[in-house]
Structure 1
Amino acid sequence: MRLVRAVTVTPGTAGSLSLVEDYPEPATDEGSILVEALAVGVCGTDLEIIAGHYGEAPPGFDRLVLGHESLGRVLEDPTGTLQPGDLVAGIVRHPDPVPCPNCAVGEWDMCRNGQFTEHGIKALPGFARDRWRIPPRFAVGLDPALGRVGTLLEPTSVVAKAWDHIERIGHRAEWQPQSVLVTGAGPIGLLAALLATQRGLAVHVLDLATEGPKPALVGALGATYHSTKVDQLGFEPDVVIECTGAPSVVIDVMCQAAPTGVICLAGVSSGGRTIDLDAGALNRTLVLENNAVFGSVNANRRHWDMAAEALARADQSWLESLITRRVPVESYAEAYTPGPDDIKVVLDFAA
């Protein structure tokens, strides 16, 4: 049996991050497409798993291979879906085995019974290993031009889903949005802003940072950067995509949206914090202005394909600017240690 390197943790055990040199090569029952890993993106979910907050190893394994933001090159595909040498990313979530009504029709991002599995998170090995396998229906081919930035496909799929649902909700009535507010200029926020500019909307991004790369990245999109409070913006956005998860910001954007506005909550709050809230005033605002608030997470195949198209249309140099550090796999611990100016960190298997 061929052995590969893999970045792993023992789920639920803080401080268990390690690079295993003798992890078994993926078995064919993981998928018919064999892929050579090129890079894996690092995100907050990985850091929470490393901290022991959650994570689930595959059945029969004590350790979980990390990595859900993948980029690889096809080594073999006996199904002919992809060709050797093609760039590919693996869809993270797989449907539950029951399946629930949503999983049964390919909407596994909307799973209702929670029995889904996720690469690098829940009961499926992740992509942070030299080789991985994927079934054809979960393999997304990428434009060759995305060879340096393909790890951005997973977070882009999340905001592609958000925009898909925003537009569905918006069309409950005659809907002609003009302005978008994105709160948070991390990877999700910046990619949400990118997809907003691709829709020809006036884009505003709010973040606390006044230095570092974020203001320039927003400006390069032709968007407006703000580092003020939500209620000091001076306008009411038609669409809000909230990416911070900060409770006070979540409440503020609900009160700031324009009449018939759509507010998408894409940031996850950590919990354990309370704030003063006039629930009656918030209710009055949402009801009398016909506003809609919804949560969005994960993505299905349709959204991954939409994300691949969006990245292929984007300025490749701008996308590459989102990746602020590339760390060789031998120095894996550095990749999972946040830096002050990090936007997106990539663990490089091809270095």
Structure 2
Amino acid sequence: MRLVRAVTVTPGVPDSLRLTEDWPEPAPEEGAILVEALAVGVCGTDQEIIAGEYGEAPPGQERLVLGHESLGRVLEDPTGTLHPGDLVAGVVRRPDPVPCANCAVDEWDMCRNGQYTEHGIKGLNGFARERWRLQPKFAVGLDPALASVGMLLEPTSVVAKAWDHIERIGRRAEWMPTTALITGAGPIGLLAALLASQREMAVHVLDRNTTGPKPDLVRALGATYHTSTVAELDLEPDVVVECTGAPPVVLDAMCKAAPNGIVCLTGVSSGGRSIDFDAGALNRELVLENNVVFGSVNAGRRHWDLAGEALARADQSWLNALITRRVPVSAYREAYASTGDDIKVVLDFAQ
């Protein structure tokens, strides 16, 4: 059996991160498509798993391979879905085995019973290994132009779903949105702003950073960068995409939308913090202005495809600028150590 390198943790055990040199090559049962890893993106989810906050190894295994923001090159595909040399990314979530009503129709992002699995997170090994396999329905082919940024497909799929659902909700009435507010200029926020700009909306992005690459990246989209509070902004956005999960920002965002406005929450808040807030005033505003607030997480297959189209249309130099560090696998610990200045860090298997 061929052995490969893999970045692994013992879920629930803080700081158990290591580069395993003798991880077994994926078995054919994992999928017909054999892929050579090129890179994986690093995100906060990985760092929380490394801290032991959550994560679940596959049944019968002690360790979990990290990595859910994948990019690879096809080595073999006997199904003919893809061809050797094609760029590919792997869908993260797999439907639950019951399946629930949503998973039964491949809407695993809307799973109702929580029994789904996720590569690199819950019950399935991830993509931070030199070789991995996919079933054809979970393999997303990429435009060759995305060879250096294709690992951005997973976070882009999250915001592609958000915009898909925003537009579905918008069709409840005559709706011609012109202004979007994005709160947070991390990878999700910047990609949400990209998709808003592709819809030719007036885009406003709010973040705390006054220095670094974020302001210039926002302006390069033709958008406006703000460092005030949400409440201080002099605008009424038709759409708000909230990407921070910070409770004060979330609440202000819910109050900021224009009449018939839609607020999509993508950031996950931590518990244990109370805020003095007038819930009655919020209720009154939502009701009287026909506003909608909804949460969105993960992505279905159609959102992965939409994300690929959005990235292929984007300025490739702008996408490359989102990646602030590319770290070789040999220095893997550096990739997972936050500097506070990064937008997106990539662990590079191709170096």
Do they fold alike, i.e. is TM over 0.5? Answer: yes
Q: Is the 8 A contact 1:213 1:341 kept in 2?
A: no
Q: Which amino acid aligns with 1:185?
A: A
Matched, 1:232 2:200: no
- Residue 274 of structure 1 and its aligned partner are, at CA, apart by 1.1
2:91 is matched with which residue? 91
Distance 2:191 2:235 in 1: 22
Distance 1:73 1:274 in 2: 47
1:316 is matched with which residue? 316
1:158 is matched with which residue? 158
Matched, 1:206 2:206: yes
Distance 1:272 1:46 in 2: 22
- Residue 163 of structure 1 and its aligned partner are, at CA, apart by 0.1
Where do residues 1-150 of structure 1 align in structure 2 (5 Å cutoff)?
1-150=1-150
1:10-50 deviations in whole A, cap 9, x for unaligned? 00000100000000000011000000000000000001100
Where do residues 253-272 of structure 1 align in structure 2 (5 Å cutoff)?
253-272=253-272
Q: Which amino acid aligns with 2:275?
A: I
1:220 is matched with which residue? 220
Distance 2:309 2:111 in 1: 25
- Residue 349 of structure 1 and its aligned partner are, at CA, apart by 0.3
1:268-317 deviations in whole A, cap 9, x for unaligned? 01111111111111111111111000000000100000000000000000
Paired residue secondary structure (2:302): helix
Distance 2:272 2:51 in 1: 17
2:241 is matched with which residue? 241
Distance 2:235 2:300 in 1: 34
Paired residue secondary structure (1:166): helix
Distance 2:158 2:13 in 1: 28
- Residue 207 of structure 1 and its aligned partner are, at CA, apart by 0.2
Q: Which amino acid aligns with 2:145?
A: A
Distance 1:330 1:274 in 2: 43
Q: Which amino acid aligns with 2:244?
A: T
1:175-207 deviations in whole A, cap 9, x for unaligned? 000100000000000000000000010000000
Matched, 1:307 2:307: yes
Q: 5+ unaligned residues in a row in structure 1: which ranges?
A: none
Q: Point out the more displaced range, 201-210 or 265-274.
A: 265-274
- Residue 340 of structure 1 and its aligned partner are, at CA, apart by 2.5
1:250 is matched with which residue? 250
Paired residue secondary structure (2:102): helix
Distance 1:27 1:60 in 2: 15
Q: Which amino acid aligns with 1:162?
A: A
Paired residue secondary structure (2:320): helix
Q: Which amino acid aligns with 1:279?
A: A
Paired residue secondary structure (2:84): coil
Distance 2:193 2:235 in 1: 17
Q: Which amino acid aligns with 1:293?
A: V
Distance 2:129 2:276 in 1: 46
Paired residue secondary structure (2:181): strand
Distance 1:14 1:276 in 2: 34
1:136-190 deviations in whole A, cap 9, x for unaligned? 0000000000000000000000000000000001111100001000000000000
How many residues of Structure 1 are paired with residues of Structure 2 in the alignment? Answer: 351
1:277 is matched with which residue? 277
Distance 1:105 1:10 in 2: 33
Q: Which amino acid aligns with 2:9?
A: V
Distance 1:147 1:246 in 2: 34
Where do residues 281-296 of structure 1 align in structure 2 (5 Å cutoff)?
281-296=281-296
- Residue 339 of structure 1 and its aligned partner are, at CA, apart by 1.4
Paired residue secondary structure (2:169): helix
Distance 1:148 1:341 in 2: 21
Moved over 4 A (4+): none
Identity between Structure 1 and Structure 2 (%): 79
Distance 1:274 1:340 in 2: 26
Distance 2:324 2:346 in 1: 8
Distance 2:322 2:79 in 1: 34
Q: Which amino acid aligns with 2:113?
A: N
Paired residue secondary structure (2:52): coil
